Amino acid sequence: MSEQVRERETRRLDRVVVRFAGDSGDGMQLTGEQFTSETATFGNDLSTLPDFPAEIRAPAGTPAGVSGFQLHFSDHDILTPGDAPDVLVAMNPAALKANLKDLPSGANLIVNTDAFTSGNLKKAGYATDPLTDGTLDEYVVHRVPLTSMTITAVHATEGSGGVNKKEAERAKNMFALGLMSWLYHRPTGGTEAFLNKKFAKRPEIAAANIAAFRAGFNYGETTESFTVTYEVAPARMKSGTYRRISGNLALSYGLVAAGELTGLPIFLGSYPITPASDILHELSKHKRFGVRTFQAEDEIAGIGSALGASFGGSLGVTTTSGPGVALKSETIGLAVSLELPLVIVDIQRGGPSTGLPTKTEQADLLQAMFGRNGEAPVPIVAPRSPGDCFDAAIEAARLATKYRTPVFLLSDGYLANGSEPWLLPTREELPDLRVSFTTEPNHTGAKGPEFWPYLRDPETLARPWAIPGTPGLEHRIGGIEKSDGQGNISYDPANHDRMVRLRAAKVAGIANDIPPLEVDDPSGTAQVLVLGWGSTFGPIAAGCRRVRAKGLQVAQAHLRHLNPFPANTGEILRSYDKVLIPEMNLGQLRTLIRAEYLVDAIGYNQVRGLPFKAAELAGVLEDVINQ
Amino acid sequence: MSEQVRERETRRLDRVVVRFAGDSGDGMQLTGEQFTSETATFGNDLSTLPDFPAEIRAPAGTPAGVSGFQLHFSDHDILTPGDAPDVLVAMNPAALKANLKDLPSGANLIVNTDAFTSGNLKKAGYATDPLTDGTLDEYVVHRVPLTSMTITAVHATEGSGGVNKKEAERAKNMFALGLMSWLYHRPTGGTEAFLNKKFAKRPEIAAANIAAFRAGFNYGETTESFTVTYEVAPARMKSGTYRRISGNLALSYGLVAAGELTGLPIFLGSYPITPASDILHELSKHKRFGVRTFQAEDEIAGIGSALGASFGGSLGVTTTSGPGVALKSETIGLAVSLELPLVIVDIQRGGPSTGLPTKTEQADLLQAMFGRNGEAPVPIVAPRSPGDCFDAAIEAARLATKYRTPVFLLSDGYLANGSEPWLLPTREELPDLRVSFTTEPNHTGAKGPEFWPYLRDPETLARPWAIPGTPGLEHRIGGIEKSDGQGNISYDPANHDRMVRLRAAKVAGIANDIPPLEVDDPSGTAQVLVLGWGSTFGPIAAGCRRVRAKGLQVAQAHLRHLNPFPANTGEILRSYDKVLIPEMNLGQLRTLIRAEYLVDAIGYNQVRGLPFKAAELAGVLEDVINQ
Amino acid sequence: MTVTTNRSGISNRLLDLVPAAPGPQSRKDFTSDQEVRWCPGCGDYAILATVQGFLPELGIARENVVFISGIGCSSRFPYYLQTYGMHSIHGRAPTIATGLATSRPDLSVWVVTGDGDALSIGGNHLLHALRRNVNLKILMFNNRIYGLTKGQYSPTSEVGKITKSTPYGSLDRPYNPVSLALGAEATFVARSIDSDRAHLTSVLRAAAEHPGTAFVEIFQNCNIFNDGAFDPLKDRSTRDDVTLRLVHGEPLVFGAEGDKGIRRTDDGGLAVVSADAPGVLVHNASAADPSQSFALSRVTGDSHGVTPIGIFRNVDVPTYDEALNRQIVDAKSKQGDGDLMNLISGGETWTIA
Amino acid sequence: MTVTTNRSGISNRLLDLVPAAPGPQSRKDFTSDQEVRWCPGCGDYAILATVQGFLPELGIARENVVFISGIGCSSRFPYYLQTYGMHSIHGRAPTIATGLATSRPDLSVWVVTGDGDALSIGGNHLLHALRRNVNLKILMFNNRIYGLTKGQYSPTSEVGKITKSTPYGSLDRPYNPVSLALGAEATFVARSIDSDRAHLTSVLRAAAEHPGTAFVEIFQNCNIFNDGAFDPLKDRSTRDDVTLRLVHGEPLVFGAEGDKGIRRTDDGGLAVVSADAPGVLVHNASAADPSQSFALSRVTGDSHGVTPIGIFRNVDVPTYDEALNRQIVDAKSKQGDGDLMNLISGGETWTIA
Ligand SMILES: Cc1ncc(C[n+]2csc(CCOP(=O)(O)OP(=O)(O)O)c2C)c(N)n1
Ligand SMILES: Cc1ncc(C[n+]2csc(CCOP(=O)(O)OP(=O)(O)O)c2C)c(N)n1
Ligand code: SF4
Ligand code: SF4
Ligand SMILES: [Mg+2]
Ligand SMILES: [Mg+2]
């Protein structure tokens, strides 16, 4: 109102949650990613949650077509992408409609007023204009004519000649990013470099985007809409070199690393499926590491080819999501019978059937455990955070090669697409997993030395791995029951019983080769234990923090190995009055825990395609503690 | 020794176990079946166990190629095919070698001496001749030159002219049958009629076989090798009309009956696999019942076609064994999501992978429960005896049509091929399962009447079944999550959670629509409960009888429904000190029971490809009771 | 099951088993209330409009039409049609449709699928449906890419294609869907293109008139992940020169000036020659022997500079459905309807009093 | 991976990557100690003997030979060979073999499969292997029946076949495996017969000499469930009159007297004519265009009274394996070996002290 430029307040915050939301075509993922990049370089701890529709380009302007990206960053270590945004950027009415319910009152809301046309309002399902009908009264609303200002800015810029109106308009996400960068004092150099690189082949587009980005930044500086800016100091994190990484990328790197560490070439046989495809995409780039990727005709061929490669001495890997696992079941059974190494990566998504293909869920655990004919045990490993996917992949490869067995690696959509800062390991920190093939006969028969493909290592119960090309060890394996040791077809009843038990004992024995379950119980006096697995680690830990901050006691333990469980699991469970198992399914770990340890574990279950919120879990924990 | 014909003793027995064993090509299955037929007509209770190699014609003369058939018959009701044979017919050295270990000392042994050539002995792996080296000292051995006597008898018979030596020799199984029929006072008319019918097109072969059969009978009468014959009186069984039936036949009839009772045409989509193929074979005969059978290109197409037929208003059925179930997993998940009726028949066999394809096992229970991505509950029904396969199939169809859900019917190789007398139901005893399709809109929307494909019956939670061809109810369904009620695609988190729980509640609700678990506890004071499921019913009940006969108390309960369990299951389990669960797997029901009821059930597990023996279970029971 | 029908329009002995529409229908009758969810500019829109425009021509009751699809962008198709429909799982639509069509001769069953859905994961089912000659109309939208999973190469992508899963170029030699279908004993094989509504409609009509499995490959532009794949066939300035329109009984000539023709070569293949050269062939889609149709399928833009569209093969042979249903009718008429109690009592029974 | 080899005998650029045998080998070297478990009289015995007799010809180290099979009577094959082997699961052998062959260019990988295993459940994998041209030799034993599961009809059984699953006669039109393979872009397609050892050996030799996927259909008698299916081709009195032996570069003539020939018809198919009629064709298995080979595949006992055996098609085009391995070699030579720590640190890092 007054002509005078007001002094702006800069508020220091310890954590902020921002969400960008717009049409699928508005580039919200890119915007979010780039804001995250700035934030990572700045040194905050962070966690992200992208959220996009199943359609490639769901209908423009409708709530179904909205694509969102949430980022939580802080000056201390954090565990989740945040429960509710402190600021929402809504590029159009549909984005507002789809996200407003998540926005706590008092939050900042930046809306692109240009998009609030009557047509767009209708598409979004608004009968009246929320900008004027009082809908937004409880928020701090910043009305920004984002589109028009972007076009003006672009067209006023040298170097962006030849950029037409549509192209200019497309840069509006960079205007939003510029504004947000200003609002949160983010470093901007990285983004400009990124844009120059990304559009290296079309410098006029790069110029347009940079112009929009700067215009957004300057708009914040000059407008009076924003009376406060925010600062979040860098986090104090463990010293070392960090990068930002998503779960699928970390998992891909873990597989490449597993190849190096075992000394085996990686062979990935895979069929594209959301949210696993990115691992195929990533691994297909790394031919210089000797990684072979094979896009198969279907999931069965994907795993079949991987198993064939393992027979030949590669580390066979197959990547998929739940429906693909279902198709691979029969071949997994064959791999159990052949006792060959194989890593089966399942990036879980919402089910059953096609379900919610772009959403997260933890409902394939029992499929991984039991989804095969006959007694066919398979070890299961699950990562707990995006960065942890790296280590979990290496662990899966370790078990697969050491025990000559297929191993499930159960990640999920949340880990796959979410990201966090990752402390890079040094080469020395990585384990030595070198494998040696059998090259000599291992048995003396009536006619001299023989090779017995099912003569087991007495300690691991693993069978020898003698690969084609090894003279004198020619042998045949198959899915029919084999005689213990010698490995010939055997229909003998006692032998079958023995082999079934040997395979089970081999997998069960892994319990002695994995770290014990660790409990985090700062007070040492908690009577409630929260047990989790997989991607719920962050929300559970955040929930625990909150209740502890209130002075309540709770212990947390998180399972990396789901089959077998660590040897001390039963002991730990039994030392608490109550065990709570939160899962994004109807209680699958709970089923396994109850069956194994007869502990009356309580389940807290949500099957919403979304990660838990810290506040929600804190509430549940309080209830359980106080009951 | 003396010329005088001795008076022969006729001993009355209450039960006898006979086993026929010979080369795969020797016709042992036919011989056993026919002896069983005679026995059934005679009025004994009986139970059979065929046992054949996985090869079509495994190498002649070797133990691997031996085919066997065991029959237990009695003057009272019996429950198993018998633990150990009282008499073994061994057609060659390999048959002797493969079966001798099962023969208790003192048993009768009929050997075809003609087959004990040095070549055959070698193939069987005998270094010396067991007929002469003392191996058989502990048995009552009847040395019969079966082959040569058959040839002589055939060639001396009118009407068998044109039968060459090889064909004559092939009739030797009928010689053995004749001899056994004589030994056990079986009626012979049926067999002669059977042979005349079977070889109607080649009367000379019929004549040859009948000649051999009579020669065998007469041989018993005239030789002095047999000093005793045996009589087993007819059993007192419930009054009514009986037939002998195998599990696969009863199951097939149950499906035909389900078609009649529901008023729906049966559509079977199937791919051949042992031991399920016979259901496809059988159902393909019944076109006059409107049964459509489709031999698909694979298991996936088998279930897909059945599901398509169900969409069109047929009762879709698919039949397979464990490896086939693995392949069908993804489509089962689709069926769960579509909520259409479908009966999935799994004739379990030894696993994992190809495993022991012709042997029995119960190791697909957890696959049936959990072998799909996401939360995808499927009801499970299991028959307990060959004849019970009829009722179980009808029950599976009832649940599938009433609750609009895929249902698993879990039989196994033992039930499939085993047989028993079956009291024919009357038409009135069969349930009325008539289904009505939805033909009218079920919702009033803004624009008038609408059809909502996911609006549920408030009681069963079943959705309406409106089939193509119904005007005004056009709708689309699919595997993506649907909005509650309306059934349009929905990615809404809360809706997904609701739908996951609704599908679970629908299946769980079946517990109110099935009979409570019944306990057989004659004394009413037992402290140990044996809980079983599926084909172990007979051996468990026989085991219980034995320990009760010793004055010990034991209660028995048997689950027909494995998902959901009957509502009173927990209560029953908790009312016993100890619960023992014998299974032909490593403890799959036990896992489910422990997880659900936190009852420390004890497992007794054998994975030998063979049914339990009554004596073995009796021993285990005694141990548990006395512990 | 036979329905007396006085449908106007398209007919064949199987379609005649489907109840007639109560009256004339329009495109609107076949349009559902669901919002269409493809990318703006996607070729799927044009195909949808053409199909919705065509269906009324069938003259059959809307409720007796069923569309079954697999998974992919193309497989969203059924949602947009006011018929019965199922959006099933990846690659399995032909199996579901087979069960439905063979058990319900009173339905008109259509399958919509993509190049990945039909030829990659679902190849086996597609080909078995073709050899069986089940009464299905299969529309395969070929955009030579995986659309829904965001741009991996497909079994119809050209060698060397750079995609997300093949950053160094794809290595697999692509299928020629028409050759593949002909090798699998298909009785009706055609090709059309999203942008040519009249042509696509004529192919759909012929497919509907064919009793048995009709396989229709439809070139479809995915403007997001494989834009312009069929541009030469669409561009007004080039299309006549690179498109050979197959018309049964007409000579195989093409070109803006109609100056080019197709003739046999010595090695058994076909070559482009001048339209007035001797030996220019006349198209025969209904030859019992599929060899010439196969040879035509080898005429491609890459090898010959021209792409045939239209009907390659169209022969009337017994269908699986008819045979299956005839076995049932025969069994009932010869043996009488089944009697359940008779069946289960079987031959040998005994009675205990 | 290149191995210096001075193998005598069969050679191609891929086989040359396989280590040579240390010395001459005999049939016995390739015979395992496992008891053969087929029915007496089964055609599989003859095929086994022929393969065991042929393998020494390859001149490669026995331990570098691998046989992969699916499930079926035929799929027992690997057990009887003293090489590496895998008896896998039904229909999936081509997938396993593809992973093995593409990751181990130093192996000679063979697939043994049946008509059900290869064409029914495994059809998709077989055809994708063919189009990719992976370096596999696929031997399909075609007995036109399911042997192991005791006699159901198969995708190559004739229509109307009475089997256990089709007591009223089968309804499906069979595949012609040669047509199917050609439709799937196969680069080597041949047919032989169990009983003709010399012919089968010559076909195996040609298959081994072919770089890429070789598909060999072998007519095999199942004397238990489909006895005599190929008798006319075996019976001395008829066989010459009903067998057309394909020899590249030779005229297509046959008959005990060599008096019959094959000529093109107007509809693009082939017909039997007198050997001295004009236009009798010369067989060209290596034509780039597969059309004539396809036309030859339509010449069958049923339709023409004569069955071609021998090599229908044999063309040398790039293989999947070579291309895949070349991409790896190229990447390493252009970019250097991968450096793990470099890779995982990526572009943007920050350091906290
Ligand atoms: C079992 C299974 N595997 C993989 C997928 C992932 N998926 C969905 S659609 C698709 C391919 C789509 O390509 P196409 O069939 O050509 O259809 P388009 O999207 O191009 O129309 C894939 C791989 C899936 N949904 N289910
Ligand atoms: C997944 C699966 N489905 C079905 C079977 C049963 N099965 C084994 S072999 C076979 C078919 C055998 O026929 P073919 O491939 O022609 O081989 P053949 O025995 O005739 O040599 C079938 C259906 C199986 N083993 N696995
Ligand atoms: S991704 Fe391609 S095929 Fe899919 S909707 Fe978009 S343009 Fe169409
Ligand atoms: S069943 Fe047929 S194919 Fe199988 S082994 Fe016997 S004869 Fe050979
Ligand atoms: Mg596509
Ligand atoms: Mg076969």
What per-residue confidence (pLDDT) applies to A587?
98
Res. D5: pLDDT tops 90: no
**Angstrom distances, CA of residue C101 to CA of C4, C133, C135:** 19, 11, 7
Predicted confidence band of residue B159 (pLDDT cuts 50, 70, 90): confident
pLDDT (average), residues A42-66: 84
B9-13 and B228-232 beta bridge pairing: parallel
Tell me, using a 6 A CB cutoff, whether residue D222 lines ligand 4: yes
Q: CA B228 to CA D351: how far, in whole Å?
A: 96
Tens digit of pLDDT for each residue in B375-396?
Answer: 999 999 999 999 999 999 999 9
Please tell me the predicted confidence (pLDDT) of residue B226.
Answer: 87
Residues 319-358 of A with CB under 8 A from B: 321-323, 325-327, 329-330, 333-334, 336-338, 348, 350-358
Q: Which amino acid is at C212?
A: G
**CB within 8 Å of B146: residues ≥ 6 apart:** B91, B112, B113, B114, B115, B172, B175, B176
Mutate to test the interface with A, among D55, D67, D100, D343 (most CBs of A within 10 A): D100
> How many other C-beta atoms are found inside a 10 Å radius of the C-beta of residue C334?
9
pLDDT at residue D8 in the model: 62
Question: Do A232 and A71 contact (CB within 8 A), yes or no?
Answer: no
Q: What does the pLDDT read at residue C62?
A: 97
pLDDT of C320 > 80? The answer is yes
Q: Any chain D CB within 8 A of the CB of C180?
A: yes
pLDDT tens digits, A441-491: 999 999 899 999 999 999 999 999 999 999 999 999 999 999 999 999 999
Largest CA distance in chain D: 93
Nearest CA to A336 out of B179, D230, D115, B323 is that of B323
Which tops the pLDDT comparison, A57 or B554? B554
Among D residues 304-323, those touching chain C with beta carbons less than 8 Å apart: 317, 320, 323
Cα–Cα distance measured from residue B6 to residue A621, given in angstroms and rounded to the nearest whole number: 89
Q: Cα torsion for D282, D284, D285, D289, to the nearest 10°? A: -130
Q: Is the CB of D38 under 6 A from ligand 4?
A: yes
Contact criterion met (CB below 8 Å) for D217 and D190: yes
- Helix, strand, or coil (residue B444): strand
Q: C130, C178 in Cβ contact below 8 A? A: no
List alpha helices for A405-552, DSSP H. Answer: 413-417, 493-509, 537-549
C71 lines ligand 3 (CB under 6 A): no
If you measure from the C-alpha of residue D223 to the centroid of ligand 4, how many angstroms do you get, rounded to a whole number? 6
Q: Mean of the per-residue pLDDT values for chain C?
A: 95
- With an 8 Å Cβ cutoff, is B428 touching chain C? no
- Cα separation, B176 vs B98, in Å, equals 19
- Over residues A267-286, the pLDDT tens digits come to 999 999 999 999 999 999 99
Alpha-carbon distance B57 to nearest alpha carbon in chain C (angstroms): 30
CB A454 within 8 A of CB A482: yes
Kindly provide the residue ranges of all beta strands, DSSP E only, lying in C43-107, ordered along the sequence. Answer: 65-69, 84-87
pLDDT > 90: percent of chain D: 92
The answer on pLDDT for D88 being more than 60 is yes
pLDDT tens-digit readout, D130-143? 999 999 999 999 99
Of the candidates D273, D137, D283, the one whose C-alpha atom is nearest the C-alpha of residue D217 is D137
pLDDT in tens, C138-151: 999 999 999 999 99
Band of residue B250 on the pLDDT scale cut at 50, 70, 90: very high
Residue D108 has pLDDT above 50, yes or no: yes
Q: Is residue B65 very low, low, confident or very high in pLDDT (cuts 50, 70, 90)?
A: confident
Interface of B with A in 572-591 (CB under 8 A): 585-586, 590-591
Exposed, middle or buried, A105 (CB in 10 Å: 0-12/13-18/19+)?
Answer: exposed
pLDDT band at D114 (very low <50, low <70, confident <90, very high): very high
Strand partners, A241: D351
CB B289 within 8 A of CB B299: no
| Ligand 3 and A57: CB distance under 6 A | yes
pLDDT at A57: 72
Q: How confident is the model at residue C8 (pLDDT cuts 50, 70, 90)?
A: low
Say if residue A167's pLDDT is above 60. Answer: yes
A166 CA to centre of ligand 3 in angstroms: 20
Give the per-residue pLDDT at B8. Answer: 80
User: Which residues in C lie closer than 8 A to residue A65 (C-beta atoms)?
Assistant: 37
Note whether C162 contacts D: Cβ–Cβ < 8 A: no
Residue D225 beta carbon below 6 angstroms from any ligand 4 atom: yes
Residue B6 has pLDDT above 60, yes or no: no
State the DSSP string of B341-396. Answer: -EEEEEEE-B-STTBBTTS---TTHHHHHH-SSSS----EE--SSTTHHHHHHHHH
Range from B19-28, B567-576, D81-90 carrying the lowest mean pLDDT: B19-28
Is the pLDDT assigned to residue A88 strictly greater than 90? yes
pLDDT in tens, B289-334: 999 999 999 999 999 999 999 999 999 999 999 999 999 999 999 9
Residue C54 DSSP SS3: helix
Q: Rounded distance, CA B271 to CA B347, Å?
A: 13
Supply the mean pLDDT for chain B: 94
pLDDT grade for A6, boundaries at 50, 70 and 90: low
Strand-pairing partners, residue A143, are: A111
Position D9 confidence tier, pLDDT thresholds 50, 70, 90: confident
Residue C5 clears pLDDT 60, i.e. is over it? no
Handedness of CA A612, A617, A619, A623 (dihedral sign): positive
Tokens representing B138? 């502990």
Asked if residue B555 lies in contact with residue B520, where contact means CB atoms within 8 angstroms, the answer is yes
Q: Do A336 and B326 touch (CB under 8 A)?
A: no
> D144: CA distance to ligand 6 center in Å?
5
Residues B129-156 have pLDDT tens digits of: 999 998 999 999 999 999 999 999 998 8
- Letter string b/e over residues B213-225, b meaning 16 or more CB atoms within 10 A of that residue's CB: bbbbbebbeeeee
Residue-level pLDDT at B3: 45
Residue B269: which pLDDT band, with cuts at 50, 70 and 90?
very high
Q: What pLDDT is recorded for position C321?
A: 95
DSSP B489: B
Which of the four pLDDT bands, split at 50, 70 and 90, describes residue A1? very low
Per-residue pLDDT band at B2 (split at 50, 70, 90): very low
User: Which chain C residue's Cα is nearest to D321?
Assistant: C171
Q: What is the ipTM of this complex?
A: 0.95
Cβ <8 Å between B272 and D165: yes
User: How many angstroms is it from A374 CA to the middle of ligand 2?
Assistant: 19
Contact call for D292 and C180, based on CB within 8 A: no
Mean residue pLDDT across chain A: 94
- Dihedral of CA atoms A199, A204, A205, A206 in degrees, nearest 10, equals 50
Rounded alpha-carbon distances, angstroms, from residue D105 to A473, B597, D14, D98: 19, 56, 7, 11
Average pLDDT score over residue span B361-366? 98
Comparing C-alpha atoms, which of B239, B213, B184 is closest to residue B18? B184
